[in-house]
Amino acid sequence: MPGVPKSHVYRLLRSGQVRVNGGRIKPERKLVLGEEIRIPPVRLAEKGEAVRPPDKVLNSLRESIIFEDAHYVAINKPAGFAAHGGSGLPYGVIEAMRALNKYDFIELCHRLDRDTSGVLLLAKSRPALLRAQKALKEGTTEKRYFTLLVGKWRGEDRDVDSALISNRLESGERMVEIDDDGKPAKSRFSPKAKYRDATLCEVQIFSGRTHQIRVHALSLGHPVAGDTKYGDRESQKFIKELGLKRMFLHSHLFALPKDGEFPKLLLSAAMGDELRAVLDKLNRQGPVGPAPRARERPRKPR
């Protein structure tokens, strides 16, 4: 069933629509030769066919708009919502914005990881899009994030100026690592609140590479809280016990400089309640957890 999201396949299994020898099965069930499998028909959208997001998603998107003028619209993107569809996802922010049927032209100016929340800017015209792309390419944008890092921070601000390269593992999973042959990437980590076993940092990035903050934080020995791809699960147990169910990474500020007819644009987005609740618990009790241990980065394929 290529193109069908895993979540949908598991839903079919849980609801008993997939049967082996006439009976329900669990996802981990191993098939043996000669068994009869019933799989219900699943219709996928034809290539190029637009998939309309549910009304609940569209209403949530409307409520997440934090800024709009003649040139741009910005949203406070929720975690778990991809910037665009693909890789088994029928839709993302851009497809949902188009489904609103409100804009003659709407395009993403940049992207955020699916698990990252915060400011996401979209252009309402081609000139506005080119203006934003130019600023991103020339590095004249300002991008700042809040992230909770595992471990107690030593000292003050720290810069990481390390090139990054993206690789595909045999499983198809994308992993990013520091490599001199990669693309230039620079991040500045500034501690804002220090707890017993965690540190809230503001991170300014001077480039926009895939998983940049996550990999740069790992290189400092402080993986991002809730990041199961690059962080060690054992060292993050105490964070999970505080109720964190997602990666603690939030884009709180995005700015474009003045450019011709376009005035300076400064956008900010507040952290969601789920992140603030974790910080409140850290402030009240101070978690007790093991020393942070970074997960070994995958080696560069030969």
Spatial contact of 164 and 182, defined as CB atoms under 8 Å apart: yes
CA distance 57 to 206: 32
Q: 54 exposed, middle or buried (CB, 10 Å; 0-12, 13-18, 19+)?
A: exposed
Q: What is the pTM of this model?
A: 0.76
The amino acid occupying position 229 is K
The confidence score (pLDDT) of residue 171 equals 61
**What residues act catalytically?**
113
Spatial contact of 131 and 259, defined as CB atoms under 8 Å apart: yes
Spatial contact of 109 and 133, defined as CB atoms under 8 Å apart: yes
Q: ∠ at Cα 115 (255, 141), nearest 5°?
A: 15
What is the domain partition of the chain in residue ranges?
6-38, 51-138, 139-302
Spatial contact of 118 and 145, defined as CB atoms under 8 Å apart: yes
What are the CA-CA distances from residue 294 to residues 18, 175, 182, 213, 217 (Å)? 40, 15, 21, 14, 10
- Are 51-138 and 139-302 equal in CATH topology? yes
Q: Does domain 51-138 have CATH number 3.10.180.10?
A: no
Mean pLDDT by 10 residues, the chain (302 residues): 71 86 86 92 61 86 95 96 78 91 94 95 96 94 96 93 86 83 95 93 94 96 92 81 93 96 95 94 63 42 40
The confidence score (pLDDT) of residue 48 equals 52
The confidence score (pLDDT) of residue 298 equals 40
The confidence score (pLDDT) of residue 76 equals 97
CATH number, domain 139-302:
3.30.2350.10
